[in-house]
Amino acid sequence: MSQQSTRRQFLKTATVGAAAVSMSAASYARVVGANDRISIGMIGCGSRGIGSHMGAVCNYSKEQNCEYTAVCDPWKVAREKAVAKTKEVYGREARQFVSYRDLLELKDIDAVMIASPDHVHTLHLKAAAEAKKDVYCEKPLSMDMDSLKAACDAVKESGVICQIGTQLRSLPSMTGVRELYKTGVLGKVGRIEQHRNSHQPYWYAYLKDVKEEDVDWNEFLYNAPKRPFSSDLYSGWYGYHDFSDGPVPGFGSHYIDLIHYITGAQFPESCVCLGGSYTWVDEHKFTNPDHVEALWTYPEGFMVTYSTNFGNGSGNSFKIFGDQAVLDLLDWNAPVLTTDGINTDKAAMKDKQPVEPVERPEHFLNWLQCLRSRETPNAPIEAGYQHAVAVIMGMKSYYTGRRIVYDHKRRELRKG
């Protein structure tokens, strides 16, 4: 048996037993043998990787007995920032690599966290699963159906623990909404909508001066068309459709995932999507839309719409409309139940009511706990597949100008 298999089997069995179940996380960590440290690798050391992933996981390092021991990124500056963070937290520097391939070859890495650009999420996820590494992977999970199916199949075949980065479903407030939805208090739900607006596209905030000599350009491009190095393209990749598809998968994946989580729906039947660049047309030549609207129909009998206006920040909303009540989720941490617009004869109640939260572990903590318990995390690979299908449908419609239909049995998209 390999060292990796032995270590993984240990992590799988370490929490078994009634005594362990009854213990707190802190007391369990003191059990002889149960404090075997989880070694984590980071793939992608940008602001999401260092600021969010490392920022959260490092806070749990002592409690969950884990450590970042390796990092990789095509950009030297990002790698060095990540290494400096590990030195600060653990008193020793993580190993650093340019390519994910070198990191995944390390036998002592138990799990990896993927915070790379959107166009390589499935590349890195599939490779991690095949290397038998547990994984946390950012959203949107994929930009196309072929790579989506290949990566998800690899995760399922390998049996690794996989958490997708749709962290809003781990909010106690959203779990409270889910439980409230199950009661039927809304009556017949016919429409769900989100308008997520800003005065400027989010990709402008990432633009920075990147030196060509500090970047492995081909490692970044992967299978995107070859072209000369561009600092704008490297740092502002969110705005270019070779590397990301803009706000529908960028913001909309969180929204769609919440709809699936709250309602129990899994896949849309059809989608139409329109948009374009109407406000922000300048020297950066961004190719993702600054205005877009997508509409999905679901077999559960409701319509779901998402829109972004990146020319004006007013008009934000997130509501689930029933014929007896409305859920207002604009404030994710404090959703409310209202009777706005309801026929008074059908109203479920008279006054606006806060939704009671249902406590559950924070998203990163939940993943770390599942690495030891081997339980299914809050956002498993199935949830990632479902949100990815929906947003890929949206962008397929956007690029073709056609209605797109999903065939769940064949796992295929077609023009409708």
Instruction: Domains for the chain: give ranges and CATH numbers.
Output: 3-167+364-380 (3.40.50.720), 170-357+389-415 (3.30.360.10)
75 pLDDT more than 80: yes
What average pLDDT does the chain have? 92
Task: Please state, in angstroms and rounded to a whole number, the distance separating the CA atoms of residues 277 and 322.
Answer: 33
Q: Are strands 95-97 and 66-72 parallel, antiparallel or unpaired?
A: parallel
- Separation of CA 368 from chain center: 16
298 pLDDT more than 80: yes
What's the average model confidence in pLDDT over 273-286?
98
248 — pLDDT class (breaks 50, 70, 90): very high
What's the average model confidence in pLDDT over 296-313?
98
276 pLDDT more than 90: yes
Tell me, what's the pLDDT at 23? 31
Tell me, what's the pLDDT at 348? 67
Helix/strand/coil (H/E/C) assignment for every residue in 122-153: HHHHHHHHHCCCEEEECCCCCCCHHHHHHHHH
Contact (Cβ atoms closer than 8 angstroms) between residue 207 and residue 284: yes
24 pLDDT more than 50: no
Tell me, what's the pLDDT at 351? 79
Task: Please state, in angstroms and rounded to a whole number, the distance separating the CA atoms of residues 122 and 137.
Answer: 9
Tell me, what's the pLDDT at 11? 46
HSE, CB side, 13 Å, CA atoms: give it for residue 133: 29
Long-range pairs for 409-415: beta carbons < 8 A, 24 or more residues apart = 411/145, 411/149, 412/145, 413/145, 413/389
pLDDT over 90, % of the chain = 88
More confident residue, 397 or 344: 397
Contact (Cβ atoms closer than 8 angstroms) between residue 414 and residue 393: no
Number of H helices, E strands in the chain: 17, 16
Task: Please state, in angstroms and rounded to a whole number, the distance separating the CA atoms of residues 127 and 155.
Answer: 9
Q: Which residues pair with 156 in a beta bridge?
A: none
28 pLDDT more than 50: no
- Name the one residue in this structure whose structure tokens are 């260092």: 50
342 — pLDDT class (breaks 50, 70, 90): confident
- DSSP character at residue 94: P
- Name the one residue in this structure whose structure tokens are 């994929």: 142
What's the average model confidence in pLDDT over 38-43?
98
165 pLDDT more than 70: yes
Tell me, what's the pLDDT at 350? 73
Angle at 222 between CA 221 and CA 227, to 5 degrees: 35
353 pLDDT more than 90: yes
